[in-house]
Chains A and B, each alone.
Chain A
Amino acid sequence: MDRLGEPFGRWIDREVRVSFTFDGVALTGLAGDSIASALLANGITTLSRSFKYHRPRGVFSHGGQEANTLVRVGDEPNVAADRVQLADGMVVASQNVFGSLRYDRAAVLGRLGRFLPVGFYYDAFFKPRGAWRVWQGAIRRLAGLGHVDPAVPRRDFDKVYLFADVVVVGAGLAGMSAALEAAQGGGEVLLLDEEAALGGGLAYGRDDAGHAVVGLVEDAVGRGDLRVMLQATCTGIFEDSWLSVVQGSRLYKIRAQAVVLATGAYGQPMIFRNNDLPGVMLAGAVQRLLRLFGVAPGARAVVATANDHGYEAALDLLDAGIEVACVVDLRPVPPDEACRRAVLDRFVRVLAGQSVWEALGRQKVTGAVIGPTDGQGARERLDCDLIVMSVGYNPVGNLLSHAGGRLTYSEAAGSFAIDAVPAGFFPAGAVNGHHDPDNVAADGALAGWRAARAAGGATDREAPAAPGEPRGGVNHPWPIFEHEKGGEFIDLDEDLQIKDIVDTWRLGYQGIELVKRFSTVGMGPSQGRHGAVATARIVARESGVAVGEVGASTSRPPFRSEKFGVLAGRRFDPVGRTPMHERHLALGAEMMTAGRWLRPAYYGRGLDRSSAISKEVSNVRGNVGLMDVSTLGGLMVRGPEAAAFMERMYCFAYARQPVGKLRYLLMTDMTGVVVDDGIAARLGDQRFYLTTTTTGAEAVYRRMLWHNAQWQMDLDVTHVTAGYAAVNLAGPQARGVLARAGADVDLSPEALPYLGVREGRVGGIAALFARVGFVGELGYEIHVPSDYGEALWDLLMVAGEPDGIAPFGVEAQRVLRLEKGHIIVGQDTDGLTIPQEAALTWAIARKKPYFVGKRSIEIQARDVTRQLVGFVLGDGAAAPKEGHLVIRDGDITGHVTSSAYSPTLAKHIGLAYVAPDQTSAGTEFSIRVDGGELVGAVVAPLPFYDPENARQGM
């Protein structure tokens, strides 16, 4: 494991060795290494196999910008080996390999390339009919990158909100300059960067001029003038300057007043035959490996360049003792810059007007074929194991696009350039087309000053000097060299070559967005970082238009891949528990969810469900049961116009509802559809206490506020669901139990009859007593303040002990109310049910001039197409489930909404929608049950139980 001597290897600690394995082989790296640098230091150049052809792939950008370096680390797939720091004990493995990384059996697909044209899978595997089922398994095994292990233990991810006046994305020279200047404005400044250290390109660049800025930033951080977040990736920008920033397992949601985007520029590759082989690298990757990790990326290099930066990379290689076989300069007449002269001074062969046309080698680069850029003239073969490219840059404009900015191709710059910038955003540095350090720093400072002002910072500070014009000559206009044998890769992630883009265009997909969707160019992990410009150029050539007219496809979040764990984060799912929750658990309740609530389904966890429910039903019918109904929504409507408001909100009549009486509530929306029901207790002339369905409270409350915002009636609506606990004490012994519990109101049928309501106390607890009949027995709903809920429960359970009181759950209640023929809104109604269909016309006060939904109900009453009826099943018939269809002559006429065995009636009963001509008692109809069998049912009059209503009126 040889390393270059200092000053190379800035980020590594040569004294601290780190052990890890790669594909089962024990290896050693150094503290500070990336996984990729450690692998290269161990002589491993192939890190993965490509997506489609399983070609060997190695370090290309060393910036985590493409799929080349994706490996599995432990149980985590798709880890970018060139972004993640090596850790002791890491178990690293290659992905997408059949056999071994070196001998991948699936590499045979590369030889079948001509039979696998772009988009071949759109129609190749779907004929004949049913073929996809055969192909699917094989294709899914071959495609994709990495595997998710469903057995991976749970890990903690969370989300945090952050706030700053100015956020600077990118801590290179431009970003640091911007942050320092913005901090002078006095506001909160947050500087963030993906890397583990400040500096961006300064960290590995040859120019030392900007290094002092790192120290200034560190000083500013020390003084508390600004905050820095490293290894923090801004993955997206959303409405109102909302930045999503991922740092480790945490997603930060950052709100900023102003944002400086100092996101830099991506080095662009040359397009030539076999340009994907391990050993072909961008100049930035080579400099990172040398300066940050002290790793020699090769022993003999060919450098292809069209700007100074290629010469600087060549000088770095020479400084590191690596032979540079040749520098080929794509420009016919390169300018006489100092760095070029420096290379020449070191007796390196420099050729102008030449390029690399082909990389040689199978597993990695073993040579390069160079020749004139115009394709004319002889080509030359050079032995080398490293091909370095520096032919231009493209601005990292992704985040700007997320924010609403736009980039268009600039013929002058030879790259995309920012064309429109949204308010509150300030691009700076290389993303703005600046590459000269002085310009970069000046542009950053100016952006920081502007951002501080936009964020309301100090306005008296003088603006920094504007940068000079961006220096040209950085980007080559056409670094694409088509080979007669093909194999020039435009998108390494998707294994797309020049011919694939051309074929896409020729197939008729002639817009850049269509090219992207058909060919999938730019849809891999690199998201077009290296392929977008070349694709636009090829499409422009085929179209015969300028590149600027082709444009670029839209960039959308996320900027980098995000883990599912980060997206899921710390989930917040509020759960509602009634005050008696612990009592239910202690009594062995099997809990169920109802909206946000947890409710007892039945008592007898682990016992037979049906018999447990039947037992609870029988106890209510013959004895007395206690049910927790605290989850019912609670609303107070109070004020001089409370009754008039009720008249408008609900279908029934309330203006003359006597104080001390209950009345059924039926709510419809403006289309006449049933949306909720409940009970109104009139506690005073101007005071109503209402219940709603368990899941309907919030919606009803919202409806009331919404309507009264328009009506401006003199009343107040208060949502008090959580303020009160409630129970339903039901059964023939209920009165005695309540009396023993210490109710201080007269419970006699004369004093508190069915549908009566009284305020009083029970066991000293202030309570509301309401005579209800939902389950069809003598029953009291008792409402008390929530903090007394458990005490009330205990009180009644003790008082009911002599009568054999037992709790009953939601399931028993469903059976009880079904026996009584009462509907449940949401179960026996759907999003289209009008009252006439659900046999609820009795709950409509027709003489009222208005209530919400009245007009719609009247219109729809003329054409009712279904009606809810009760039914009984014949003996031995298979029990239908809720949702099973009512069938007549092969047509659907309705469906079952409730279905249960009635232990009271000893038969199976239910509710179902049927056609209007099927509603007469005794009418037989068919229900299609599981397996397609048709079972016979007979319409029965409702209620099934106690049709005289004698029991609830006891």
Chain B
Amino acid sequence: MRRTPIYRQHVAAGAVFGAVNGMACPLRFGTEKMALPGPVMLADLSALPRSGLKGRDALSWLRGREVRIGGRDNIAYGQEDGSLVARLGPGEVLLLSDLKRRGAVGLRPGDGDQARAYGVPRSSGNIWFYLCGVRGSAVFAKLCAIDLRPEKFPEGAVAQTSVARLNGIIIRHDVGKTVGYHLLADFASAAYLWDVLLDAMVEFGGRVVGLDEILKLEEMSQ
């Protein structure tokens, strides 16, 4: 089974794992009932499907497959199946599954190569964290020079920027009424970034949560 690069940190933190997309995914932490939403919650969603595509014809290739992509860069466009397609540039997109993995975002190596739309191994190249809660932007303010406050960084906004001196892609995506941000960054620096985020969260009473708790937030808003 695939492992997130911070699998051992999750084990040490008392994660309860479940198989998600062929990877051991932390569903919740500890044995107690899931707590109410906290001011900051951090989850490792690296088990969820994601992929990327770049090249001169990447956008048109996807549009030909009925993927909805608007005309502006640095916007994540929601799809009918719940997945997100973040337009990173005129010739690059990032595809993220929805939290329940309904979105069909899998691209195989070589897909589109003949059409100048080349696959990017986001699933193995990027870790995928999710930071949410009312103080989420305050946590990012300690790590990142972009103004990510909800009123300045609306739902669907994308920032490709430095997070704790690491290249990162931040996408505002709320779960229910909880403000949240997807964060994708270098797979090899996952442990470093996880530790940095935990450290930055301390003053806000942040805590690590599993996928089930994020899903619960979604359910609570429905």
Residues of chain A whose beta carbon lies under 8 Å from any beta carbon of chain B: 158-163, 253, 255, 570, 572-579, 581-582, 596-597, 630, 636, 638-640, 684, 686-687, 714, 716, 718, 720-724, 766, 785-788, 790-791
Contacts and interface: CB of A to CB of B under 8 A. Distances in A.
A578 B188 contact: yes
Nearest to B55: A716
A909 to B, nearest CB: 34
Contacts of A638: 55, 113, 118
B178 interface: no
A162 B8 contact: no
B208 to A, nearest CB: 19
A570 B192 CA distance: 13
B86 to A, nearest CB: 16
Contact of B142 (A159, A573, A636, A791): A159
Given A163-B147, A574-B165, A579-B5, A720 B121 contact: yes
A790 B2 CA distance: 8
For the residues of A in contact with B, the DSSP-based class is mixed
Nearest to A578: B188
B126 A722 contact: yes
A269 to B, nearest CB: 42
A718 B141 contact: no
B105 interface: no
A724 B1 CA distance: 16
B3 interface: yes
B120 A720 contact: yes
A583 to B, nearest CB: 11
Contact of A570 (B3, B124, B126, B142): B142
Nearest to A579: B5
A576 B189 contact: yes
A786 B188 contact: yes
Given A577-B191, A787-B124, A572 B196 contact: yes
Interface in B133-161: 141-147, 149, 152
B187 interface: yes
B177 interface: no
A686 B112 CA distance: 12
B188 A160 contact: no
Q: Find the residue from A158, A638, A787 having the highest chain B CB count within 10 A.
A: A787
A718 B54 contact: yes
B124 to A, nearest CB: 4
A163 B142 contact: no
A791 B113 contact: no
Given A572-B164, A724-B124, A161 B141 contact: yes
B23 interface: yes
B192 A253 contact: no
Given A161-B141, A720-B121, A582 B165 contact: no
Contact of B118 (A575, A581, A716): A716
B207 interface: no
- Category for how many chain B residues contact A: 35 or more
B188 A572 contact: no
Interface in B186-213: 186-193, 196, 199
B121 A723 contact: yes
10 closest residue pairs by CB, A with B:
A723-B125, A785-B124, A723-B121, A576-B188, A787-B2, A572-B165, A722-B187, A786-B124, A572-B164, A163-B147
A575 B189 contact: yes
Contact of A575 (B3, B110, B113, B192): B192
Contacts of A577: 5, 188-192
Most chain A CB inside 10 Å of its own CB: which residue of B46, B142, B145, B196: B142
Nearest to A162: B141
B58 to A, nearest CB: 9
Interface in B160-178: 164-166
A718 B113 CA distance: 13
Interface string B104-127: 000001100100101011111110
Contacts of B1: 791
Contact of A714 (B23, B116, B123): B116
Contacts of B55: 638-639, 716
A636 B52 CA distance: 14
B166 to A, nearest CB: 5
A631 B3 CA distance: 18
B56 interface: yes
Interface in B79-119: 91, 109-110, 113, 116, 118
A687 B187 contact: no
Nearest to A718: B120
B118 to A, nearest CB: 5
Given A723-B124, A723-B125, A161 B144 contact: yes
B4 interface: yes
Given A161-B145, A722-B189, A723-B187, 18 more contacts: A159-B142, A160-B141, A160-B142, A161-B142, A572-B143, A574-B165, A574-B166, A576-B192, A577-B191, A577-B192, A579-B188, A596-B189, A687-B110, A718-B120, A785-B123, A786-B125, A786-B188, A787-B4
A636 B118 CA distance: 9
A686 B125 contact: no
Contacts of B149: 163
Given A576-B189, A723-B121, A787-B3, A163 B152 contact: yes
Contacts of B147: 161, 163, 255
B123 to A, nearest CB: 7
Contacts of B56: 714, 716
B188 A597 contact: yes
12 contacts: A158-B142, A161-B141, A163-B152, A579-B187, A579-B188, A630-B188, A639-B118, A640-B116, A686-B113, A716-B91, A722-B188, A790-B3
